[in-house]
Structure 1
Amino acid sequence: MTFTTPNWDAQGNAIVPPISHVDNSNHAEYQTDINYQYQPAPVHEEEERAKRRLEKKLRRKSHKHERKLIAKQAKSKEDQTVVPNQAAAPAAGSSPHRPISLDSPSTAADDTDDSSDSKDEMQRGDDFIGFGDEASENELDAVIASNNRTPAEPSHAGQKRKRDPDNGSDTEGATGPPPGCPWMGHRQYSKLPSVPIMLTQELKDFVDFLSPTPEEHQVRKYVIQWIAKTVSELWPDSEVHVFGSYDTQLYLPSSDLDLVVLRARDFSKEDLYKLSRHLKAKQVTNDVQVIAKARVPIIKFKERLSKIPVDISFNITNGIESAEIVRNYMETTPALRSMTMLIKHFLMIKGQNEVFQGGIGSYTTMIMILSFLQMHPQIQANKLNPEDNLGVLLIEFFELYGLCFNYNQVGISVANGGSYFLKPPNNNPNNRELLLSSIDPNDPTNDTAKGSYALRMIREVFVGAYGTLTKTVQQRHRVLFGGGSSQTSSHYRFDDHNRVPADSRGKSSALHHQTQVSLIRDVLSIPLDVQQGRQHLERVFYSGHFQDIFDDPHGAHGLTE
């Protein structure tokens, strides 16, 4: 599979250079062509050990949770026998609210120590802000009590969002998702005609599960309104705008809110501290970090009740302009949103999504994915539907940027349909071993990846993901459809000739239909603190706190328009 590369004339001008964006030193088979084949790549032993430790820990928690539940039920039955007419009173500080169940008991159990260990083993970034802490829950209980109201019940508590009835999958008879895979629901993936289609469907379900619920999105809207109202009280001549992942609908459950305050007058250093004091006085937050000496001064805090992290900048408009460009790309590029959500989440759980730690930021992530889709020869030739080949494309993305891409010589641009360009010889002044160059489509002078200095580690996790996915897909194909371990053809495309039945009736074993197997759980997962944070946000919504602030009684029982 060949990616188109531009030519260069004698003066070094970009016409179409006889260079390849492939780095031959990383993969012996890759010359000027990228021959995408299913081949196991090295999987890091430490990563595998961490996964096994986490799975063992989750199993222990599941058993502990089950024992507690059985003991609680036995005690409740005993109490009812002793005092049959006395209703059991709720525990002190408890709430009648039932937050949405986002996982099985094995991963949703409340265990602070295990949650902390899980985050370490998932290689989370040190700056990540967890939501589901005990202080936050106590504060929410206090708010509910002070409001003297009973929280409204979630209309879909304990249920996963509904499936699309037209996607052609039967959900009857499945055993339910394996532990740690709540996105799978009861879908019978093994009834689909090929393993690549199973992979694509599971990825679509993962993106669907990862996407914000209406309650989560509404809480973020309330937080934006609450902050904008507070800022306008301090500076009536100012405007508050939201940009970044919220504005482009690409935010993860753990993503922060990016806001900018605009006004005609400049902001001074003292203005940042003035707003910091005002936010605390109005009880928007309990603590504010002022970063006044940065190239782009900002203040950072967590909203007091929702615990959503917020970044506020001042009189900087390029974020708003970039968001408009991203929205346009999302509307015109199939699979870009799904791929961006998947890679952003993957980098987050690997702790490689923060630029100040050398990781890849959201904007650069989107550019890398967009470039990959623009330069993909099958997509260029209209021979491949990206949405229907999401699984194959994810594998090829990990392969390209993990094994093949020539970071030392080639940069990427997504302007005018996309291209690669030859980097100047002095592009690596600090002698970094790997350095990605990614041109900002909103500002050609800006390299969005210049701060991503941890590319060696990022490339390693890409390689590990590529090897894990290809191995898992091969094994699942052999289990369901038989066949040898070797594959001489390219990655499976979703054509009829690739649909291999296991018997004369064209069906695989009924046992496999009843037992769900995740193809992505060793690469993509939902960390425990993220699940707890989502439960907390739903509880915030149904507490009615923000609905009272904005005199929105309908919002306490149903979602606003």
Structure 2
Amino acid sequence: MAANQERSDGGGGGDERISEQLVSQSNQVPQLSGRMRRWQVESRPEIDTFTPGLLALYESLKPSEEHKSKQNQLVDSLTKSVSKEWPDAQLHLYGSCANSFGTSHSDVDVCLEMETGTESTAEALLKLADVLRSDNFDNVEAITSARVPIVRMSDPASGFSCDICINNLFAVANTKLLKDYAQIDQRLLQLAFLVKHWAKLRGVNETYRGTLSSYAYVLMCINFLQLREPKILPCLQAMEQTFTMNVDGTECAYFDEVHHLQDFGADNKESIAELLWAFFHYWAFDHDYRRDVISVRMGNTISKQEKNWTTRVGNDRHLMCIEDPFETGHDLGRVVDRQTLRILREEFERAAGVLQYNDDPCVTLFEPYD
């Protein structure tokens, strides 16, 4: 997509573009130029009338049973192939395909947990690529120079593309954490699916272009629901540790008996329409980008100073800070630069404005950026 490139070349014209779109699309009150009026902190009175449309869209985005069946078919095929060479290896699905936040368009991410012996990860991946080619998987390619080295392939039987890594167990722990959060309150899944869909259509979910990953958006949604009053989600890492997984000397631990937490957010009656508007409004106007880091681990925001994320270090810019729950030195927003931060904030403003003023926000909100 060229969307971000076009926007990043636009100099200071972004606010005018957003303002023009809001005036033309939203039939809103006049003189909303530039940034929206910051004193507007409550959603429109009739916002709940848009909940049915948003929930219908959410239902349409959820993966089908056929999708899940084909995913299981691929896992079975991979298990058979891998066990020939590494009989003790364990195969873990991770990421969107396994954390409950994947759509029918999500590909499959697999982590092989195994002893590599004297082999390097790169050597093991090259051997894995040979094994998969011999078992008639298509388009097999070992990408050993990536931050997380992988074998990329496609499965002719299921039609899925698949990325396979070795011993990337932080990703496995993160996947379980997100899956457990998803079981506490259905509004998390609803919010995250809609935000991810919005980000994809608006061209702001591409880390290689300096915006945010799907994983980052899910963490933003979790933290946002931890911050609501009354709270909708707890902070699982601040509770009794019932699950522990040691990854490279780091203890990934939290309370995973989430069946005890089904009524945690019952005192908060906000609908998905209210929450979606409040999410965009928070990121447009309320989040302190200069000072704050969002932390699912703490269930709150913490200061950049506390993280020592006040200045750029190498390629990590720390302009929009999202702490990974277990790899706490990892800032999911590190790729965001000044141009793409402006773009993101313009898009958050646009989304909040559309939900606040548009006659048919369920359509306008998700209009593809072009």
The Cα shift of 1:264 comes to 1.8
The one-letter amino acid paired with 2:356 is T
Contact between 2:202 and 2:368, CA under 8 Å: does it hold in 1?
A: no
| Cα separation, partners in 2 of 1:27 and 1:432, compared to 1, 3 Å | farther
8 Å Cα contact 1:399-1:463 kept in structure 2: yes
Aligned residues: 298
- Cα shift at 1:214: 0.9
Distance in 2 between residues matched to 1:223 and 1:455, nearest whole Å: 38
Distance in 2, Cα, partners of 1:432 & 1:316 = 21
Counterpart residue type for residue 393 of structure 1:
L
Q: How far, CA to CA, are the matches of 2:368 and 2:289 in structure 1? A: 30
Q: Does 1:401 align with 2:254?
A: no
The alpha-carbon distance between structure 1 residues 429 and 243, as it changes in their structure 2 partners (threshold 3 A), is closer
Question: Aligned to 1:372, what secondary structure does the other structure show?
Answer: helix
State how far apart, in whole Å, the 1-side matches of 2:318 and 2:364 are. 27
* The 10-residue stretch of structure 1 (436-445 or 391-400) with the greater mean CA deviation from structure 2: 436-445
Other-structure match for 2:42: 36
CA displacement, residues 67-126 of structure 1 (integer Å, 9 cap, x when unaligned): xxxxxxxxxxxxxxxxxxxxxxxxxxxxxxxxxxxxxxxxxxxxxxxxxxxxxxxxxxxx
Q: Distance in 1 between matches of 2:367 and 2:72?
A: 27
SS in 1 for 2:193: helix
Larger radius of gyration: 1
Structure 1 pair 425–225 and aligned structure 2 pair: CA distance change class (3 A): closer
Kindly indicate whether residue 107 of structure 2 is the aligned counterpart of residue 223 of structure 1.
Answer: no
Specify the alignment match of 2:330 in structure 1.
446
Partner secondary structure for residue 293 of structure 2? strand
1:145-294 equivalent positions in 2, closer than 5 A? 195-266=46-117, 267-268=119-120, 269-285=122-138, 287-294=139-146
| Pair 1:237–1:279, CA change in 2 (3 A) | same
* 1:523 aligned partner: 365
Taking every aligned residue pair, what percent have the same amino acid on both sides? 24
CA distance in structure 1 between the aligned counterparts of 2:154 and 2:363, rounded to whole angstroms: 30
Contact 2:220 2:294 in 1 (8 A): yes
Question: What is the distance in 2 between the residues matched to 1:368 and 1:344?
Answer: 11
Give 3-state SS (helix, strand or coil) of 2:49's partner.
helix
Q: Measured at CA, do residues 257 and 294 of structure 1 come closer, stay the same or move farther in structure 2, by a change above 3 Å?
A: same
Partner of 2:150: 298
Is residue 324 from structure 1 mapped to residue 330 from structure 2 by the alignment? Answer: no
1:414 is matched with which residue? 296
**One-letter amino acid of the structure 2 residue matched with residue 368 of structure 1:** M
Give the unaligned 5+ runs of structure 1.
1-25, 39-193, 476-517, 528-561
Give the aligned residue type for 2:295: S
Report if the CA contact (8 A) 1:27-1:404 is conserved.
Answer: no
Deviation, structure 1 residue 520: 0.9
Q: Please give the TM-score of this superposition, normalised by the length of structure 1.
A: 0.48
CA displacement 1:111-169 (0-9 Å, x = unmatched) = xxxxxxxxxxxxxxxxxxxxxxxxxxxxxxxxxxxxxxxxxxxxxxxxxxxxxxxxxxx
Contact 1:413 1:421 in 2 (8 A): no
**Bigger proportion of residues as strand:** 2
Tell me if the contact between 1:245 and 1:251 (Cα under 8 Å) persists in the aligned partners: yes
Confirm or deny: 8 A CA contact 1:407 1:434 kept in the other structure: no
Question: 1:470 corresponds to which residue?
Answer: 356
Q: What is the deviation of 1:270?
A: 2.9
Where structure 2 has 5 or more consecutive residues not aligned to the other structure, the ranges are: 1-33, 233-264
The Cα shift of 1:302 comes to 2.5
Shift of 1:295: 2.9
Return structure 1 stretches of 4+ with deviation > 6 angstroms.
430-434
Could you say what the CA RMSD is over the residues aligned between the two structures, in angstroms? 2.9
Alpha-carbon deviation of 1:313?
0.5
1:437 alignment partner, one of 321, 324, 333:
321
Q: Write the letter of the residue equivalent to 1:208.
A: E
In the alignment, the residues of structure 2 paired with residue 405 and residue 452 of structure 1 have an alpha-carbon distance, to the nearest angstrom, of 15
Distance in 2 between residues matched to 1:313 and 1:363, nearest whole Å: 17
* TM-score normalised to structure 2 length: 0.71
Measured against aligned partners, the alpha-carbon deviations of 1:157-210 in whole angstroms (never above 9, x if no partner) come to: xxxxxxxxxxxxxxxxxxxxxxxxxxxxxxxxxxxxx84333111111111111
